[in-house]
Structure 1
Amino acid sequence: MKAVVKTEKGPGHVSYIDFPDPQKPGAGELLVEVKAACVCGTDLHIREDKFRNRPPVVLGHEFSGVVLEIGEGVTMFKPGDRVTAEAPARLCNKCMYCRTGNYNHCSNRSGMGWGENGAFAKYVIIEEQMSHKVPDNISFKAGALMEAAACVAHAIEITGIKADDTVVISGPGPNGLLMTQFAKAEGATVIVTGTNADAKRLEMAKQLGADYVINVQEEDAVQKIRDLTGGYGADIVFECAGAQSSIDACFEYVRRMGKYTQMAMFGERKMSIDMDKLVVKEIHMVGSQSQRWTSWDKLIKLLSAGKLQLESLATHEFKMSEWEKAFDCFEKKEGLKVVLYPED
Structure 2
Amino acid sequence: MKALVKYAAGPGNMEIRDIPEPKAEEGQIKIKVLEAGICGSDLHIYHSDIAIPVNPPVVTGHEFSGVIAEIGEGVSGFSVGDRVVSETAYDFCGVCDYCREGYYNLCVERKTLGYWYNGIFASYTVVPAARVLKIPDNVSDTSAAMAEPLACVCHAVYDLCRIVPGDLVLVSGPGAIGMMAMQVAKAHGATVIISGTNVDIPRLELAKKLGADYTVNLHTENLEEVINKLSNNYGVDVVLECSGAAPAINSGLNLIKKRGYFTQIGLAGKKIEFDIEKINYKELHFSGSLGSRNYNWRRALKLLADGQVNLEPLADTKLPLTEWETAFERFEKKEGCKFFLLPIEE
TM-score interval (norm. to shorter): over 0.9
Question: For residue 49 of structure 1, what is the aligned residue in structure 2?
Answer: 48
1:141–1:339 contact (8 Å) kept in structure 2 = no
Once superposed, which parts of structure 1, at least 4 consecutive aligned residues long, lie more than 6 Å away? none
Question: For residue 10 of structure 1, what is the aligned residue in structure 2?
Answer: 10
Q: Distance in 1 between matches of 2:341 and 2:69?
A: 20
2:200–2:334 contact (8 Å) kept in structure 1 = no
* 1:171-207 deviation per Cα after TM superposition (whole angstroms, max 9, x unaligned): 1111110011100011111111111221111111111
TM-score normalised per structure 1: 0.97
2:7–2:56 contact (8 Å) kept in structure 1 = yes
1:30 partner amino acid: I
Aligned residue runs from structure 1 range 1-344, under 5 A: 1-23=1-23, 25-51=24-50, 52-157=53-158, 158-267=160-269, 269-343=270-344, 344=346
Q: Distance in 1 between matches of 2:116 and 2:140?
A: 28
Give the drift of 1:27: 2.2
Give the drift of 1:327: 1.1
Q: Distance in 2 between matches of 1:144 and 1:181?
A: 17
Residue identity over aligned pairs, in percent, reads 44
Q: Distance in 1 between matches of 2:281 and 2:288?
A: 20
2:153–2:181 contact (8 Å) kept in structure 1 = yes
2:34 partner amino acid: K
Q: Distance in 2 between matches of 1:196 and 1:322?
A: 27
1:134–1:143 contact (8 Å) kept in structure 2 = yes
Q: Distance in 2 between matches of 1:95 and 1:179?
A: 30
Segments of 5+ residues of structure 2 without an aligned counterpart are none
Q: Distance in 1 between matches of 2:149 and 2:124?
A: 20
1:163 partner amino acid: P
Give the drift of 1:139: 1.9
1:50 partner amino acid: D
Give the drift of 1:73: 2.1
Give the drift of 1:43: 1.2
Q: Distance in 2 between matches of 1:22 and 1:226?
A: 56
1:183 partner amino acid: A
Give the drift of 1:276: 2.1
* Secondary structure in 2 matching 1:197: helix
* 1:200-235 deviation per Cα after TM superposition (whole angstroms, max 9, x unaligned): 111111111111111222222112101101221100
2:26 partner amino acid: A
Segments of 5+ residues of structure 1 without an aligned counterpart are none
TM-score normalised per structure 2: 0.96
Give the drift of 1:138: 2.2
What is the RMSD of the two structures over their aligned residues, measured on CA atoms?
1.1
Q: Distance in 2 between matches of 1:90 and 1:292?
A: 12
2:127 partner amino acid: I
2:317–2:339 contact (8 Å) kept in structure 1 = yes
Give the drift of 1:83: 0.7
1:172 partner amino acid: P
Q: Distance in 1 between matches of 2:127 and 2:41?
A: 19
1:76–1:128 contact (8 Å) kept in structure 2 = no
Aligned residues: 342
Give the drift of 1:140: 1.5
* Secondary structure in 2 matching 1:159: coil
* Secondary structure in 2 matching 1:205: helix
